[in-house]
Structure 1
Amino acid sequence: MTLLPSPQQLRYLIALAESRHFGRAAQACSVTQSTLSAGLLALERQLDTSILDRDAGRHVVFTPLGLELVERARTALSALEAVSEAVLAAREPMGGPLRMGVIPTIGPFLLPRLMPALRRAFPRLKLYLREDTTANLAARLNANRLDLLLLAVPCECPGAEAMPVARDAFVVALPPDHRLAGEEQISPAALSTERLLLLEDGHCLRDQALAVCGLLAGDGTGEQDGFAATSLHTLVQMVANGLGITLLPRLAVAAGIVEGTGLVLRPLAGAGAWRTLGLVWRQNAPRASDYRALGAHLVDTCREALQ
């Protein structure tokens, strides 16, 4: 009879692959480093193979077969966890823990409205939140470290299902003495010669803004001097100081991000001058019905917020 790896051994293997450091992997698994090392050594003996290259010195280097086993471990652990999730979903719909990732250009502006509504509608739900960039959240979803994501769709999330919940229009924010401040609406073409201030690389809103305006980095986007903002609040302050103009999602404007700055806001004209907000989860997730129920509340919350 084949001796199968334990779920804990699979967790050790995945944690080490992600951190490439025994100490950090042990910390992520809430065990001592010696316990994790012993568990992985036992796994190698059970499988009668080398998962780690022991000749690599102090560096954590996986053998080719070891790397393959990491991916298989992710699949196996995800399937095991789906068993428990299916039971929870049947026993307690919209209850228990749920791990949701959200991008920084949505979270601060929508969550203050969403969280009270969810507490009223689903008092048994324990929603744990993580704010990060789209790429990092997608990686965590794929690794089964998050259950669903709230971000701009479509996104690079292979093997995922998406539920659009709102259309979030872009508006142009500019100083009151700017030459375009008197326009009722501003076309993307009018921005081609302006210094368009953007978020730094890694934020999907940056790529969306460039796509909407038909611009490439370095062609009038304000990147020539190497400056980029880490948040929408920083962008607003840069525009208020006369450093350029920017695009803001209406969701942030409705939440009061420009209050007290004196900035002028004008709609961005043209087709596609918006982003689509949506929920994303792994295909065939046992709690998909819960995610859709949460999405229905998001539709209502977004509608109220964007008004």
Structure 2
Amino acid sequence: MITITQLEYVVAVDTYRHFVTASEKCFVSQPTLSMQIKKMEEELDVVIFDRSKQPVVPTQIGEVIIQQARKSLAENKRIYELVKEHQNMVEGELVIGIIPSLAPYLLPLFAGSFSREYPKVKLKIMELLSEDIIDQLNKDRIDVGLLVTPLHEKGIQEKSIFYERMFLYVNNKHQLASKSKVEPAEIAGEGLWLLSHGHCFRSQVVNLCSFHDKIKNEISINYESGSLETIKKLVEKEGGYTLLPELSIDDNVLNNRYAQVKNIGESDPLREVSMVYSRNFSKRQLLNLLYEHIRISIPEHLLSQADGHIVEWRD
């Protein structure tokens, strides 16, 4: 009979791809963990991990078994969550991954007030790039992600929270500053500052202003940064322009004497911000509470897509 413990050990080895590290994370000795996995393999008459490779990798049948093991562990956790929901208990840990272009502007709106309203819920929040959030969800290292969608990712559920407009932020001395209206195609030019590779907002900017691969290749990038705040300062002090999501636009941006905010095109380009989680998500009560709390914490006009169009970042 396969045990929950054996399933946990198998998933841990798949997550960390190392028996010693997996045993440390499971708080058992490495021989104990290895023995339990070996017993499971013998019972099933299959080899789950190819131990000849470093790091260890699942075999073909092992990948299928691990996928089912993750589902089984999630359903096991769900039993405990059902009891908590029945008893109206709001407690536990919620591990959240959030993208860097969202964290500084969204977290202050909800994190503190959520913790005060639900003091028995421990929030553990990590800034991660979008692809890393997807990877961490698939490996059950985080419970939920806050990022830009759509993802079109198998096994990941998306629940839209709000839609924020994308604006042009341009230095007053740049030629775009004199235009009453800036079209997306005009953005692909000299002086554009971008976030570095891996940031979904960078990909959205490229997709918005690049209707053809030719335009993508012609974008002139003077400097790339991992911080929108750094890019704002570069626009103000060094010139050029960038794109900013709505939540990042504060009074310092709106009233800056060196740069100005402009609308883009006829239809508002939007980024859709969603809560994402795996289909095996067991903490549904906490997820729903977090979702509703974020919705009431942000400006009401962001809740509707209205007439804007969503700019995708994944090809």
Tell me if TM exceeds 0.5: yes
Question: Residue 41 of structure 1 is aligned with which of 16, 38, 43?
Answer: 38
The corresponding residue for 1:221 is: 219
The corresponding residue for 1:203 is: 199
Q: After TM superposition, which residue ranges in structure 1, 4 or more long, deviate above 6 angstroms?
A: 257-261
**Contact (CA 8 Å) 1:235, 1:246: kept in 2 or not?**
yes
The corresponding residue for 2:173 is: 177
Deviation at 1:233, TM superposition (A): 2.5
The answer on 1:128 being equivalent to 2:124 is: yes
1 CA distance for matches of 2:39 and 2:199? 42
**Contact (CA 8 Å) 1:101, 1:129: kept in 2 or not?**
yes
If the length of structure 2 is used for normalisation, what is the TM-score?
A: 0.81
2 CA distance for matches of 1:119 and 1:20? 34
**Contact (CA 8 Å) 1:161, 1:283: kept in 2 or not?**
yes
User: Larger % of strand: which?
Assistant: 2
Aligned 1:7-156 pairs, distance under 5 A: 7-54=4-51, 56=52, 59-156=55-152
If the length of structure 1 is used for normalisation, what is the TM-score?
A: 0.83
**Contact (CA 8 Å) 1:172, 1:266: kept in 2 or not?**
yes
1:285–1:10 Cα change, 3 Å: closer
1:26–1:198 Cα change, 3 Å: farther
1:259–1:157 Cα change, 3 Å: farther
1 CA distance for matches of 2:299 and 2:90? 22
**Contact (CA 8 Å) 2:75, 2:282: kept in 1 or not?**
no
Deviation at 1:61, TM superposition (A): 3.8
SS state of the match for residue 145, structure 1? Answer: coil
1 CA distance for matches of 2:90 and 2:181? 43
Structure 1 gap segments, 5+ residues each: none
1:8–1:236 Cα change, 3 Å: farther
1 CA distance for matches of 2:80 and 2:48? 28
2 CA distance for matches of 1:163 and 1:57? 39
**Contact (CA 8 Å) 1:135, 1:156: kept in 2 or not?**
no
Deviation at 1:295, TM superposition (A): 2.1
2 CA distance for matches of 1:239 and 1:52? 52
The corresponding residue for 1:294 is: 290
2 CA distance for matches of 1:145 and 1:67? 18
Deviation at 1:218, TM superposition (A): 4.2
**Contact (CA 8 Å) 1:113, 1:305: kept in 2 or not?**
no
Deviation at 1:47, TM superposition (A): 2.7
1:219–1:168 Cα change, 3 Å: same
**Contact (CA 8 Å) 1:93, 1:290: kept in 2 or not?**
no
**Contact (CA 8 Å) 2:182, 2:263: kept in 1 or not?**
yes
1:279–1:136 Cα change, 3 Å: same
Seq. identity, %: 28
2 CA distance for matches of 1:248 and 1:210? 13
2 CA distance for matches of 1:28 and 1:261? 53
SS state of the match for residue 178, structure 2? Answer: coil
2 CA distance for matches of 1:82 and 1:277? 26
**Contact (CA 8 Å) 1:138, 1:156: kept in 2 or not?**
no
Deviation at 1:286, TM superposition (A): 5.0
Deviation at 1:140, TM superposition (A): 2.4
Compute the RMSD of aligned alpha carbons. 3.0
Deviations 1:71-126 (A, max 9, x none): 22122212212222222233235432222221111111111121222133323322
**Contact (CA 8 Å) 2:47, 2:59: kept in 1 or not?**
yes
The corresponding residue for 2:313 is: none
